[in-house]
Amino acid sequence: MSTKASIRHQEKDGELPAWHLYTEAFEKADVVYLELEGVKADLTMIDSSWGAAPGTVLLRLPTATAKQLGLVPAGWEKD
C-alpha cells in the first residue's frame, strides 16, 4: 500500500521527464516531495537500489518553498 498522497504529476512526454509532487501520509513535517525521473543533474544521485529508475532525483521541500516555486496549487493544504 502506498503512503504517497499525490498533489500533481506528469507522465513522461517525449523528451520531457516524468515528475510527481506528493506528500507522505505519515510525514509530520510540513514538507512535500518532488520526484523527477529521467533528468540530468549536477548533484549526487539517489542510490537506485531502492527501486528508482536511473536518473531519478527526489527533493524534500518545505511546503512554503514549494508554494513560492509555484509547484503547489493555490489553496492546497496538507491534510
Cα(20)–Cα(58) distance, integer angstroms = 9
Going by their DSSP bridges, the two strands 31-37 and 56-62 should be labelled as antiparallel
- Number of domains observed in the structure of the chain: 1
Cα(65)–Cα(36) distance, integer angstroms = 17
**14 domain-assigned:** yes
**76 domain-assigned:** no
**8 domain-assigned:** yes
Cα(8)–Cα(42) distance, integer angstroms = 25
**78 domain-assigned:** no
**16 domain-assigned:** yes
**74 domain-assigned:** no
pTM: 0.78
Q: Where in the sequence is the domain holding 25, given as residue range(s)?
A: 4-68
Q: Looking at 16-67, which runs of residues are DSSP E strands?
A: 18-24, 31-37, 56-62
Q: pLDDT digit string (tens) for 30-42? A: 999 999 998 877 7
Q: pLDDT digit string (tens) for 23-72? A: 998 888 899 999 999 887 776 555 555 566 667 778 889 998 999 999 98
